[in-house]
């Protein structure tokens, strides 16, 4: 029910027990009837199965408003602690000592990509709604930027952004964060580094990105695939280079796949408030890091993520069909009204 064995669950709980007890019993008034360990168990179950608050409340025999308030309190209490414990940026020195660098780009500290998740169509004016519509996925949704180390752990996670925001725009908003993270230490400056863009960014490690970040190398030591030029094929060396980048970057898809496999709340249409989204994703990504420490990423995780993306494509296709059918019926009704109006006009003319 929670993706973890009893021993693993208690290991996680021990990390947050003190924080939860302090939050549980502070202030005056009636004490919470649910123990901290039970609330932690409920939270993991909710994140994994992700149904309506009413459905989860029935499962645990608690009133829906009370259960919703309890889960929000639990998540807000444990998320900072778990994120600080499990989401950390490794140094290049530690990666080299553990022989855990990328195979083709050993001078890259991590790979970065954006994860999209559908959400309900926002209310409000059209200009407010369109900010959440992703032209790539043809769905309303939210985006988060994540960075994954060669070891398969998430090492950085952004706050959420509307679905219409370009991936490279999210990266540029967080450019100072990446610049500080990729900066070499004094000892690392002595390490031989003759990789791509070394002459331009001698004091910085590289980050692997996809074609959507084209042009980012002017601001950062970003390694991205080469795009095909108009009316011209890529050279063999460029094709080989693109394959090498993709083979190293697949670690991000593997991690996204593991997140989606473990936590339904991270891939299903998000219907809870947007103010909770970033907190929930930080929580699920931190818990996934713990899971990866027990069971390293595999190729099957990327296959799972591709199935999630295929699900989004099908959702967009079905939405398009519904919209086309509505428009077709509207045209038929309009033509009928026009024909009826012409018939009436012709009768009046004959009279």
pTM: 0.92
Q: What is the pLDDT of residues 111-141, one digit of tens each?
A: 999 999 999 988 888 888 899 999 999 999 9
Residue pair 37/13 in contact by the 8 Å Cβ criterion: yes
Closest CA to 13 of 77, 91, 108: 77
> Model confidence over 56-67: pLDDT tens digits?
999 999 999 999
Which residues are bridge partners to 113 per DSSP?
146
286 pLDDT above the threshold of 90: yes
Per-residue model confidence (pLDDT) at position 340:
84
Q: Average the pLDDT over 180-188 and give the result.
A: 94
pLDDT of residue 347 exceeding 90, the answer is: no
Instruction: Report how far residue 168's alpha carbon sits from residue 164's, in angstroms, rounded to the nearest whole number.
Output: 12
Phi-psi region of 47 (alpha: psi -120 to 50; beta: other; left: phi over 0): alpha
> 143, 162 in Cβ contact below 8 A?
yes
In this predicted model, what pLDDT tens digit does every residue of 85-98 receive, in sequence order? 999 999 999 999 99
The end-to-end CA distance of the chain, in Å, is: 78
Neighbours of 270 (CB within 10 A): 22
Instruction: Kindly give the interhelix angle for 64-86 and 6-24, rounded to the nearest 10 degrees.
Output: 110
In the predicted structure, residue 348 carries a pLDDT above the cut 70: no
Does 177 or 340 have the greater pLDDT score? 177
Whether residue 331 is predicted with pLDDT greater than 70 in this model: the reply is yes
pLDDT at residue number 29: 65
Share of the chain above pLDDT 90, in %: 83
- Model confidence at 194: pLDDT above 90: no
- Local confidence band at 342 (pLDDT 50, 70, 90 cut-offs): confident
Cα atoms in the 13 Å half-sphere on the side-chain side of 242:
12
């Amino acid at each position: 029910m929670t993706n973890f064995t009893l021993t693993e669950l208690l290991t996680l709980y021990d990390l947050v027990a003190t924080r939860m007890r302090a939050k549980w019993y502070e202030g005056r008034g009636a004490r919470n009837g649910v123990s901290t360990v039970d609330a932690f168990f409920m939270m993991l179950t909710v994140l994994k199965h992700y149904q309506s608050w009413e459905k989860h409340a029935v499962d645990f025999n608690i009133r829906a408003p009370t259960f919703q308030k309890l889960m929000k309190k639990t998540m807000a209490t444990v998320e900072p602690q778990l994120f600080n414990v499990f989401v950390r940026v490794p140094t290049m020195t530690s990666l080299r000592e553990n022989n855990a660098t990328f195979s083709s780009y050993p001078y890259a500290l991590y790979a970065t990509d954006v994860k999209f998740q559908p959400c309900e169509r926002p209310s409000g004016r059209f200009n407010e709604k369109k900010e959440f519509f992703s032209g790539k996925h043809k769905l309303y949704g939210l985006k988060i930027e994540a960075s994954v180390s060669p070891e398969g752990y998430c090492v950085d996670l952004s706050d959420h952004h509307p679905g219409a925001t370009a991936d490279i725009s999210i990266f540029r908003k967080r450019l100072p964060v990446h610049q500080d993270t990729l900066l070499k230490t004094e000892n690392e400056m002595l390490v031989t580094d003759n990789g791509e863009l070394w002459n331009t960014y001698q004091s910085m490690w590289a980050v692997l990105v996809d074609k959507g970040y084209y042009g980012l190398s002017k601001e950062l030591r970003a390694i991205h695939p080469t795009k095909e030029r108009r009316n011209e094929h890529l050279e063999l060396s460029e094709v080989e280079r693109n394959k090498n980048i993709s083979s190293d970057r697949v670690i991000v898809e593997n991690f996204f796949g593991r997140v989606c496999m473990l936590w339904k709340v991270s891939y299903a249409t998000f219907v809870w408030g947007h103010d909770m989204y970033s907190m929930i994703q930080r929580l699920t990504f931190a818990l996934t890091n713990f899971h990866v420490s027990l069971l390293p990423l595999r190729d099957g995780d990327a296959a799972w993520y591709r199935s999630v993306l295929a699900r989004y494509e099908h959702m967009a296709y079905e939405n398009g069909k519904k919209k086309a059918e509505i428009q077709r019926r509207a045209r038929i009704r309009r033509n009928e009204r026009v024909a009826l109006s012409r018939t009436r006009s012709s009768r009046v003319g004959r009279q």
